[in-house]
């Protein structure tokens, strides 16, 4: 697939980011929260230019890819004209909600 111009972040992924931010702020403070969330968002942008960075995870769902970042995994899908971030889950979390 070609270079992507559109990045879509699902409502579920937005909620994941909010939860990650709240937890990180409580545990490690505002500066670490900005750094960690900024790193995740930087990876979102990198994926729009290089969607093959993540590993295929077809055993979970068709056309699903996953990219580990820190303690989390970005789950995303390529389409004809965009890249959709579906979830950002902690490595220990169940991926059942992503299954077909």
**14 inside domain:** yes
What is the residue range of 49's domain? 6-94
Decide if 68 is inside a domain: yes
Domain count, the chain: 1
Mean pLDDT, to the nearest integer, of 6-31? 97
Q: Is residue 13 part of a domain?
A: yes
The arrangement of strands across the sheet holding 6-9 comes to 6-9, 82-90, 72-78, 64-69, 55-56
Angle between helices 30-49 and 11-28 (to 10 degrees): 150
Task: With respect to residue 100, please indicate whether it lies within any of the assigned structural domains.
Answer: no
- The mean pLDDT of the chain is 91
- Distance CA(76)–CA(63), nearest Å, equals 9
Q: State residue 100's pLDDT score.
A: 61
- CATH code at position 50: 3.30.2310.20
Residue 1 lies in a domain: no
Q: What is the pLDDT of residue 3?
A: 60
Q: What is the pLDDT of residues 69-81, one digit of tens each?
A: 999 999 999 988 8
| CA end-to-end span of the chain | 22
* Inside any domain, residue 46: yes
Q: Give domain status of residue 85, yes or no.
A: yes
In a domain, 58, yes or no: yes
pTM of the model: 0.90
């Amino acid at each position: 697939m070609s270079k992507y111009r559109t990045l879509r972040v699902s409502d579920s992924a937005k909620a994941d980011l909010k939860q990650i931010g709240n937890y990180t702020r409580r545990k490690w403070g505002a500066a670490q929260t900005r750094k960690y969330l900024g790193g995740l968002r930087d990876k979102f942008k990198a994926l729009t230019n290089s969607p093959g960075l993540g590993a295929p995870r077809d055993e979970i769902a068709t056309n699903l890819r996953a990219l580990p970042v820190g303690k989390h995994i970005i789950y995303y899908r390529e389409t004809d004209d965009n890249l959709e971030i579906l979830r950002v889950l902690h490595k220990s979390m169940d991926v059942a909600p992503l299954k077909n």
